[in-house]
Amino acid sequence: MADDDRSVEETGRPAGDDDGAETEGKRGPLGKWTRRAFIGTGALAGGGLVLGVGGVVFAPNRMRIGPESEGGTGQLTTWIKITPDNDVIVSIPHCEMGQGALTGIAMMMAEELEADWSLVRIEESPPEDHFANGYIVRAFVDETGFSVPGWFQRAFDYASYKAMDVAGMQVTGGSTSTRGTGQYGLRVAGAAAKEMLLQAAAATFDAPLSELTARDSRITHGPSGRSATFGELATLAATMKVPNDPVMKPRDQYRLVGTSQNRHDIPSKVAGAAQYGIDVTLPDMLYAAIAASPVPGGQLSEVDEAPATSMAGVHEVVRLTEAVAVVADGYWQASQALAALTPRFTDDGRGTANTESIYAAHVAALDEKGPGQPSRDAAKTVSVEYRVPYLAHATMEPMSATARIANGRCEVWAGTQDPLNARRTAARAADLDVSDVVMHNQQLGGGFGRRLPFTFDYIEQAVHVAKSVSPRPVKLIWSREEDMQHDYYRPFVVARLRTDLDAEGRPLSWASRFTGSRLADGGAARPPYEIDDIDVSAAAPPVHLRTGSWRSVQYSQHGFFVESFIDELAHEAGRDPVEYRAALLSHEPRHLAALQRAADMADWGGPLAEGRGRGIAIVEAFGTIVAEVAEVSVEADNSIRVHRFDAAVDCGLVVNPQQALAQIQGGITFGLSAALYHEITVRNGAVEQRSFPDYPMIQLSNAPRVNVEFIASDAAIGGLGEPGVPPVAPAVANAVFALTGQRLRTLPLRLA
| Tens-digit pLDDT profile for residues 640-686 | 999 999 999 999 999 999 999 999 999 999 999 999 999 999 999 99
pLDDT digits (tens, 9 = 90+) for 464-492: 999 999 999 999 999 999 999 999 999 99
Measure the CA–CA gap between 370 and 347, rounded to whole angstroms.
33
Phi first, then psi: what are they for 706, rounded to 5°?
-120, 120
Question: How confident is the model at residue 151, as a pLDDT?
Answer: 78
Measure the CA–CA gap between 178 and 631, rounded to whole angstroms.
32
Measure the CA–CA gap between 175 and 720, rounded to whole angstroms.
6
Which DSSP letter does residue 13 get? Answer: P
List, in order, residues 6 or more apart from 519 with CB less than 8 Å away. none
b/e map 119-142, b = 16+ CB within 10 Å: bbbbbbbbbbbbbbbbbbbbbbbb
Domains of the chain by residue range: 17-259, 277-348+399-477, 493-740
Measure the CA–CA gap between 455 and 213, rounded to whole angstroms.
49
Would the pLDDT of 67 be above 80? no
CB 359 within 8 A of CB 542: no
* The CATH number of domain 493-740 is 3.50.30.10: no
* Domain formed by 277-348+399-477, architecture: 2-Layer Sandwich (3.30)
Average confidence (pLDDT) over 347-351: 92
Stronger pLDDT, 92 or 617, i.e. the higher one: 617
Question: How confident is the model at residue 48, as a pLDDT?
Answer: 63
Range with the lowest mean pLDDT among 61-75, 160-174, 309-323, 667-681?
A: 61-75
Give the number of other Cβ atoms within 10 Å of residue 671's Cβ: 28
b/e map 238-274, b = 16+ CB within 10 Å: bbbebbeebeebeeeebebbeeebebbbeebbeeeeb
Would the pLDDT of 34 be above 50? no
Question: How confident is the model at residue 534, as a pLDDT?
Answer: 94
Stronger pLDDT, 559 or 517, i.e. the higher one: 559
Query: Is the peptide bond preceding residue 471 cis, with omega within 30 degrees of 0?
Result: yes
Would the pLDDT of 43 be above 90? no
Range with the lowest mean pLDDT among 56-70, 261-275, 434-448?
A: 56-70
Measure Cα distances from 606 to 600, 681, 734, 737, 739 in Å.
10, 40, 17, 17, 14
Q: How many helices (H) and strands (E) does the chain have?
A: 18, 27
Measure the CA–CA gap between 279 and 296, rounded to whole angstroms.
29
Would the pLDDT of 342 be above 70? yes
Measure the CA–CA gap between 217 and 196, rounded to whole angstroms.
13
Question: How confident is the model at residue 520, as a pLDDT?
Answer: 73
Question: How confident is the model at residue 679, as a pLDDT?
Answer: 98
CB 549 within 8 A of CB 517: no
Measure the CA–CA gap between 324 and 461, rounded to whole angstroms.
10
CB 383 within 8 A of CB 498: yes
Percent of the chain past pLDDT 90, that is, above it, reads 75
Measure the CA–CA gap between 82 and 84, rounded to whole angstroms.
7
CA angle, 733 then 739 then 740, to 5° = 85
Question: How confident is the model at residue 37, as a pLDDT?
Answer: 31
Stated pTM of the model? 0.90
Measure the CA–CA gap between 241 and 424, rounded to whole angstroms.
36
Given phi > 0 = left and psi -120 to 50 = alpha, else beta, which region is 18?
alpha
Stronger pLDDT, 281 or 520, i.e. the higher one: 281
Would the pLDDT of 413 be above 60? yes
Would the pLDDT of 164 be above 90? no
- Encode 314-337 in three state secondary structure: EEEEEECCCEEEEEECCHHHHHHH
Stronger pLDDT, 33 or 250, i.e. the higher one: 250
Range with the lowest mean pLDDT among 42-46, 448-452, 591-595?
A: 42-46
Residue type at position 341: L
Question: How confident is the model at residue 510, as a pLDDT?
Answer: 96
Given phi > 0 = left and psi -120 to 50 = alpha, else beta, which region is 475?
beta
Tell me the torsion sign for CA atoms 4, 8, 11, 13: positive
CATH of segment(s) 17-259: 3.30.365.10
Going by pLDDT thresholds of 50, 70 and 90, the confidence category of residue 51 is low
Question: How confident is the model at residue 130, as a pLDDT?
Answer: 75
Rg (CA), the chain: 27
- The answer to whether domain 277-348+399-477 and domain 493-740 are alike in fold is yes
Would the pLDDT of 7 be above 70? no
Range with the lowest mean pLDDT among 71-80, 391-400, 663-672?
A: 71-80
Question: How confident is the model at residue 143, as a pLDDT?
Answer: 83
Going by pLDDT thresholds of 50, 70 and 90, the confidence category of residue 411 is very high
Give the number of other Cβ atoms within 10 Å of residue 620's Cβ: 24
pLDDT averaged over every residue in the chain: 88
Q: Which of 416, 443, 682, 422 is nearest to 547 (CA)?
A: 682
Q: Which of 622, 678, 727, 689 is nearest to 388 (CA)?
A: 678
Average confidence (pLDDT) over 350-355: 95
Report the DSSP pairing between strands 300-302 and 31-32.
unpaired
Average confidence (pLDDT) over 624-628: 98
Question: How confident is the model at residue 52, as a pLDDT?
Answer: 52
| Strand ranges of the sheet holding 533-539, from the earlier edge strand across to the other edge | 380-388, 493-501, 509-515, 533-539
CB 109 within 8 A of CB 186: yes
Going by pLDDT thresholds of 50, 70 and 90, the confidence category of residue 691 is very high
Measure the CA–CA gap between 180 and 19, rounded to whole angstroms.
28
CA angle, 378 then 379 then 380, to 5° = 90
Q: Which of 89, 109, 104 is nearest to 259 (CA)?
A: 104
Residues in the chain: 752
Average confidence (pLDDT) over 296-323: 97
pLDDT digits (tens, 9 = 90+) for 103-146: 999 999 999 999 999 999 999 988 888 778 888 888 888 888 88
How many Cα atoms within 13 Å fall on the side-chain side of residue 642? Answer: 32
Residue type at position 349: G
Which DSSP letter does residue 574 get? Answer: T
Question: How confident is the model at residue 54, as a pLDDT?
Answer: 37
Going by pLDDT thresholds of 50, 70 and 90, the confidence category of residue 158 is confident
Measure the CA–CA gap between 533 and 223, rounded to whole angstroms.
65
Would the pLDDT of 74 be above 90? no
Average confidence (pLDDT) over 437-448: 96
